[in-house]
Structure 1
Amino acid sequence: MTPAGPAGPAGPPMRVVLADPILDRFRAELTSGGADGHDWEFLAGRPDSEVAAGVLGADVLVASRVTEAMAAAGRGLRLVHVTGAGLDRIALDALPPGTAVCNTFHHGRSIAEHVVMAALMLSRRVRRAERLLRQGRWESVAVDPGIALGDTLAGRTVGVIGLGAIGGEVARMAAALGMRVRAVRRDPAAPLPAGVRPDRVEGNGGLPALLAESDLVVVTVPLTESTAGMVGAAELALMRPGALLVNVSRGPIVDEDALYDALAGGRIGGAALDVWWGHPKDGTGSRGYTRPFDTLDNVVMTPHHSGHTVETFAGRAAEIAGNIARLAEGRPLVNVVRAAA
């Protein structure tokens, strides 16, 4: 028998507020699959004060950022659904105890592809070669015997800091490229992600050895009190000369001054930074960094968009819609990071 399609919400319609500008592009996916029929209010791009006012009387808030004012206004919220994995921009302690909080992922594959792309750009010195070619200068080993040859990724060692949704995909993809994979994680005895078989997995105490033995270090841990400043001057000094660092997690996990000094001084080979130490809300003003990383040829810079693919956000929208339907129907939610008291 073919199951019947969605027939709207079970029970009274809920009031749902969306305040995420990226997910706003996926309204059709969000309002389908059992999440249709609710009273949706789309406030993406509005000032925080308007979002806080809009949350009054809402049952569900879908957002990547929740201020204390929004939390205070949402005394009747049954669910805050974060539109990504990170919780560092969510005022969890300000939310009422009856509010459940869920997050969502679907970005692992997209970010892992970005890591591979950035690592290859650094290994092949793409940024410098492209800049010079745009200026009319052909820099190549074919015309200049002093130019260093590039490196392949196969046969090299990648050290993954964190082995969650992103780290697992990085490990899986790196192994497929012929790289040796080692990782550190908070609980080394936890089950490995499906299909991931690193050469070595250790607790965070194994970080010094990982840094010393890796050609490519990829930071994927979430930002917490214990991970802020996890990679500082002492840790960077352990890395091999010529080793590469890719940060796709959060900027403050790596010390900004120490990283710039290591890159500018040639202590490490290069870095790919998709995350920064600040985050301009509207894309202007703060660049996200204070040291002149933009002057260095051994840095690949992107504006926190390594996971920004259709696949990532379509998957998130569908999962959020599913959780809204579960809430309306009284079924257990998925990806619960804080249950309602």
Structure 2
Amino acid sequence: MQKKIVAYKALPADVLSYLEAHAEVVTIDPKDADALRAALKSANGAIGASVQITPQMLEGATNLKVLSTISVGYDNFDVADLTRRGIILTHTPDVLTESTADTVFALILSSARRVVELAEWVKGGNWKASIGEAHFGVDVQGKTLGIVGLGRIGGAVARRAALGFRMNVLYTNRHPNAQAEQEYGAKRVELDELLAQSDFVCLQVPLTDETRGMIGAAQLKAMKKSAILINASRGPTVDEAALIEALQDGTILGAGLDVFEQEPLPTDSPLLAMKNVVALPHIGSATHETRHAMSRNAAENLIGALDATLTNNIVNPDVLKR
């Protein structure tokens, strides 16, 4: 019997053709929760992104064996519940590393040099004489970058910082990163020391119970007044209300943000009115090349898991032991 796959995200034509060569594919509008829930009941696998897949949505989905997310993050899933049900969850951790690290560094540079603010100032017809100190930014080269979470993306950011900009790299991580220490001179420290010493604090952690709200008022006060916070991980890792207050009060110099507690960012958010904030619409991996590679990788993960040949990119490998 031919396998059935539910696609709850539009896929590139070649990726869709690849899936159709292996299974019957049903495409569902991700905004139609009832249709998605009904389709999952008879599916063997599903592929998509940016939709919360709750345990309630999986009730009755007795044939479902694999969920493949087109992302590195998997906070849209209850992993423990999936494991209990015997459903494999796969993700795409490698193909987006470099493009996301590029975005992180774009936030560092644009925040430090006030690129967005001054570009709009020029477009507004305000450049009528040589600029003075009121429009100066701060250097990036030679400064100290503190990376909270030195995994794949954090390591790629560290490489850019140390080798490209001669930055001193501090990091916190559950485990030492020997490669970063040997090749980039990265130094592992406790979070308090990282916050106190860094000119740029960059968050590269997944959203978990432990990381939710990990940067709040106390942590922001521990940072240098000249420091800039960079977050391209997940919005809820930062207490947004505390960040807004810190930016308004001058507790820190600025912020470069690609993620927010609520996305899209509400039009009445105070962050939108702040000149010392660079706000992007969650574009971390959003290049044509990378998003295509992610879709292809997720499709291959899905088929490999359904065929019991996949050995990597599995979030909950304990399922394989069942």
Give the TM-score, by structure 1 length.
Answer: 0.84
**Is residue 103 of structure 1 aligned with residue 79 of structure 2?**
no
Match of 1:18 in 2: 7
Q: Which runs of 4+ in 1 moved over 4 A?
A: 190-196, 288-291
CA deviations 1:178-208 (Å, max 9, x no partner) are 21111101223x6547995342024xxx011
**Any stretches of 5+ residues in structure 2 without a counterpart?**
none
2:153 match: secondary structure? helix
CA distance in 2, matches of 1:231, 1:327: 37
Q: Evaluate the alpha carbon distance shift between residue 69 and residue 195 of structure 1 in structure 2; reply closer, same or farther with a 3 A threshold.
A: farther
Q: Evaluate the alpha carbon distance shift between residue 319 and residue 307 of structure 1 in structure 2; reply closer, same or farther with a 3 A threshold.
A: same
1:316 match: secondary structure? helix
- Number of residues paired by the alignment? 314
Give the TM-score, by structure 2 length.
Answer: 0.89
Q: Which residue among 100, 103, 115 is the counterpart of 1:126?
A: 115
Match of 2:69 in 1: 82
Report 1:165-180 matches (<5 A). 165-177=152-164, 178-180=166-168
Question: Is the Cα–Cα contact under 8 Å of residues 277 and 288 in structure 1 kept in the other structure?
Answer: no
Q: Evaluate the alpha carbon distance shift between residue 217 and residue 35 of structure 1 in structure 2; reply closer, same or farther with a 3 A threshold.
A: farther
Question: Is the Cα–Cα contact under 8 Å of residues 164 and 193 in structure 1 kept in the other structure?
Answer: no
CA distance in 2, matches of 1:268, 1:328: 49
Q: Evaluate the alpha carbon distance shift between residue 192 and residue 72 of structure 1 in structure 2; reply closer, same or farther with a 3 A threshold.
A: farther
Give aligned-pair identity as a percent: 30
Match of 2:233 in 1: 249
Give the root-mean-square deviation of aligned CA atoms.
Answer: 2.4
Shift in Å, 1:147: 2.7
CA distance in 2, matches of 1:322, 1:25: 13
CA distance in 2, matches of 1:209, 1:194: 17
CA deviations 1:202-248 (Å, max 9, x no partner) are 4xxx0111111111111110111111111111111111122111101
Question: Is the Cα–Cα contact under 8 Å of residues 246 and 272 in structure 1 kept in the other structure?
Answer: yes
Q: Evaluate the alpha carbon distance shift between residue 279 and residue 151 of structure 1 in structure 2; reply closer, same or farther with a 3 A threshold.
A: closer
CA distance in 2, matches of 1:227, 1:146: 38
2:261 match: secondary structure? coil
Question: Is the Cα–Cα contact under 8 Å of residues 52 and 73 in structure 1 kept in the other structure?
Answer: no
**Matched AA of 1:329:** D
Match of 2:171 in 1: 183
Report 1:1-341 matches (<5 A). 12-20=1-9, 24-32=10-18, 36-64=21-49, 65=51, 66-95=53-82, 97-105=85-93, 106-138=95-127, 142-143=130-131, 145-147=132-134, 149-177=136-164, 178-188=166-176, 192=179, 197-202=184-189, 206-280=190-264, 287-288=265-266, 291-339=269-317, 340=319, 341=322
CA deviations 1:273-306 (Å, max 9, x no partner) are 11111135xxxxxx35875111110000111112
Question: Is the Cα–Cα contact under 8 Å of residues 66 and 306 in structure 2 kept in the other structure?
Answer: no
Question: Is the Cα–Cα contact under 8 Å of residues 183 and 198 in structure 1 kept in the other structure?
Answer: no
CA distance in 1, matches of 2:21, 2:181: 33
**Matched AA of 2:174:** R
Question: Is the Cα–Cα contact under 8 Å of residues 146 and 202 in structure 2 kept in the other structure?
Answer: yes
Moved more, 92-101 or 151-160: 92-101
Question: Is the Cα–Cα contact under 8 Å of residues 78 and 99 in structure 1 kept in the other structure?
Answer: yes
CA distance in 1, matches of 2:236, 2:70: 21
